[in-house]
Amino acid sequence: MTPLPETPAKALIVLGCPEAPAQQALAFHTAYNLKKRGSEVLIAGNPSVLNLLKVSDPEKHYITDTMVLEKCIAEVVEKKRDCDLCVVFAHNDAAIAYAATMRHLLPERRLVVIIFGKNPEPLADEINFPCEKIVDKAVHNPMQLRTKINEVFGWAVSRT
C-alpha cells in the first residue's frame, strides 16, 4: 500500500487571480484540511483575492494567516520564509510564472500546482519544471477538482 504523505509542518498556498470562483472554494478546502492535520498555513495572493477570503471567513475559522504575494516572494528570496509544502493555484499564464518562481526558490520542497479554469491543458503543458500537477477543467464547479486534490494529498472524502 502506498504510504500517505506526511503532514507538512508549514504550508504555503499561493492563489492566482480570483476570476474563477472554484479557486476560493478549493483554497478554503485545502487550508482547512491542512490545518486540521496540524499544518501552519499561510495564504499568499493579491489584495483582491485575500479580501475575498477575509470577507468569507470573518472569524478566521479556516484562513488565519495571509500575505500579499509580492511580500511573500520577497521573504522567500531573502530566506526569511520557508515551507515544507507549496500549493499554487493556477488558471492563467501569470500563475504558472509564479509556480515556476516558487520551484526555483524552493527547490527541495514539495510543490503541487493545481491547474484549472476553462482551458487548463495548454497551461499544464507550459510547466517544464518538476512538480506534482493536478489538472481539471474547473471554473465554477469545484467538486471534481476537490476529489483530485483529496487523492493527491491522501485526504478522505468528507460526507458533509
Q: What does the alpha-carbon distance between residue 84 and residue 139 come to, in Å, rounded to a whole number?
A: 28
Kind and range of the H or E element at 12? strand 10-14
Nearer to another protein (CB atom), residue 18 or residue 142: 18
Of residues 107, 154, 149, the one with CA closest to residue 129: 107
Contact 46, 54 (CB under 8 A): no
Residue 100: CB minimum distance to another protein, A: 4
How many CA atoms does the CB half-sphere of 18 hold within 13 Å? 14
Nearer to another protein (CB atom), residue 11 or residue 72: 72
Nearer to another protein (CB atom), residue 92 or residue 150: 92
Residue 101: CB minimum distance to another protein, A: 4
Residue numbers at the binding site for another protein (CB under 8 A): 15-19, 45-46, 48-49, 69-70, 73-74, 76-77, 92-98, 100-101, 104-105, 126, 128-129
Q: Which three cell numbers stand for residue 109?
A: 520542497
Contact 133, 15 (CB under 8 A): no
Residue 76: CB minimum distance to another protein, A: 8
Residue 94: CB minimum distance to another protein, A: 5
Nearer to another protein (CB atom), residue 11 or residue 96: 96
Q: What does the alpha-carbon distance between residue 37 and residue 40 come to, in Å, rounded to a whole number?
A: 9
Residue 6: CB minimum distance to another protein, A: 27
Between the alpha carbon of residue 142 and those of residues 11, 44, 98, 116, the distances in Å are 21, 20, 22, 10
Nearer to another protein (CB atom), residue 45 or residue 142: 45
